């Protein structure tokens, strides 16, 4: 079955810098790649997704890149702010089943 | 619109007890998922329902875990009998129909098994 590896378990950046979180997946059938954010003591909240028919998607300060050949996707947060501090989870599924397999999470800390 | 509602928020059980966790999905959503979250294992899929039909029953979780969708607006997850290793946060999520993958998560039920 699908396996999603999230490479950075922790990441610290200065406020205003960019943060990059990288994930890889194993199943070539995967075609949907969302990202979720979990703030301390709270549940998961959708932030952005990308499908395999594009290789880049942007929503305000969030950019997702997808490299299907390398089976790799990444979340870029530009101009980071303290409220970006949270655990970020990447996930993958095929668009038929919608069963998301999650990565292990990256704790992002944005330092003032 | 109400989001996903999970009850109870916290549950403490003795080993061997039966516990039932409840979930109400977002109104109109047809897909419902149960996940377990622990620090060590991360997020693990337990069950997946589409229009009340069980699509995925979680493989390794089958023997003591049973999820049911009693109607389109209510689901339960029963753990019987509980073991200390079941201590985790149980998350319910729902999804609308058609070509959208976005999941809406509830706040979770934190289970502690003594």
Over the stretch A32-72, which tens digit does the pLDDT of each residue have?
999 999 999 899 999 999 999 999 999 999 999 999 999 99
Report the distance separating Cα B31 and Cα B101, nearest Å. Answer: 10
Q: Which one of A53, A92, A98, A101 would you mutate to disrupt binding with B, by most B Cβ within 10 Å of its Cβ? A: A98
Contacts of A72 (CB under 8 A, 6+ apart): A22, A23, A24, A25, A66
What confidence tens digit (pLDDT) does each residue in B14-28 have?
Answer: 999 999 999 999 998
CB of A99 within 8 Å of any CB in chain B?
Answer: yes
Q: Chain A partners of B98 at a C-beta cutoff of 8 Å?
A: none
**End-to-end Cα distance, chain B:** 37
| Alpha carbons within 13 A on the beta-carbon side of B94 | 24
Contacts of A18 (CB under 8 A, 6+ apart): A76, A77, A78, A79, A80
What confidence tens digit (pLDDT) does each residue in B36-85 have?
Answer: 999 888 999 999 998 888 887 766 667 899 999 988 899 999 999 999 99
Instruction: Please report the pLDDT score of residue A104 as a whole number.
Output: 95
Give B46-71 as a DSSP string. Answer: EEEEETTEEEE--GGGTTTEEEEEEE
Q: Inter-chain contact B55–A99, Cβ cutoff 8 Å?
A: yes
CB of B29 within 8 Å of any CB in chain A?
Answer: no
Q: What is the band of B98 on the pLDDT scale with cuts at 50, 70, 90?
A: low
Q: Chain A partners of B95 at a C-beta cutoff of 8 Å?
A: 98
Region A20-42: mean pLDDT is 95
Instruction: Count the Cβ atoms, other than its own, within 10 Å of residue B52.
Output: 13
Phi, psi angle pair for A86, to nearest 5° = 180, 180
CB of A96 within 8 Å of any CB in chain B?
Answer: no
Q: How far is B81 from chain A (nearest CA, A)?
A: 26
Out of B42, B56, B104, the one facing A99 most closely (by C-beta) is: B56
Report the distance separating Cα B25 and Cα B22, nearest Å. Answer: 10
Report the distance separating Cα B106 and Cα B109, nearest Å. Answer: 9
B6: nearest Cα among B74, B52, B88 = B74
* A4-13, A41-50, B81-90, B94-103: the lowest-pLDDT one: B94-103
Q: With a cut of 70, say whether residue B99 has pLDDT above it.
A: no
Instruction: Please report the pLDDT score of residue A65 as a whole number.
Output: 98
Length of chain B: 114
Instruction: Please report the pLDDT score of residue B61 as a whole number.
Output: 65
């Amino acid at each position: 079955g699908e396996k999603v590896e999230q490479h950075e378990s922790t990441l610290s950046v200065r406020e205003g810098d960019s943060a990059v979180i990288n994930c890889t997946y194993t199943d070539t059938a995967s075609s949907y790649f969302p990202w979720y954010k979990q703030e301390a003591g709270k549940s998961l909240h959708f932030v952005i997704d990308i499908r395999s028919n594009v290789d880049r998607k942007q929503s305000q300060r969030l950019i997702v890149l997808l490299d299907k050949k390398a089976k790799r996707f990444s979340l870029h947060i530009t101009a980071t702010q303290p409220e970006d501090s949270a655990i970020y989870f990447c996930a993958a599924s095929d668009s038929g089943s919608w069963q998301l397999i999650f990565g292990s999470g990256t704790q992002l800390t944005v330092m003032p | 619109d109400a989001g996903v509602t999970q009850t109870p928020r916290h549950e403490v059980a003795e080993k061997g007890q039966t516990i039932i966790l409840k979930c109400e999905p977002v109104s109109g959503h047809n897909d419902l998922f149960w996940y377990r979250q622990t620090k060590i294992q991360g997020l693990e899929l337990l069950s997946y329902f589409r229009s009340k039909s069980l699509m995925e029953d979680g493989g390794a979780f089958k023997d003591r875990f049973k999820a049911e969708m009693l109607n389109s607006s209510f689901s339960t997850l029963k753990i019987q009998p509980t073991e200390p290793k079941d201590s985790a946060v149980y998350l319910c999520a729902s999804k609308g129909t058609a070509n959208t993958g976005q999941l809406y998560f509830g706040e979770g039920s934190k289970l502690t098994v003594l």
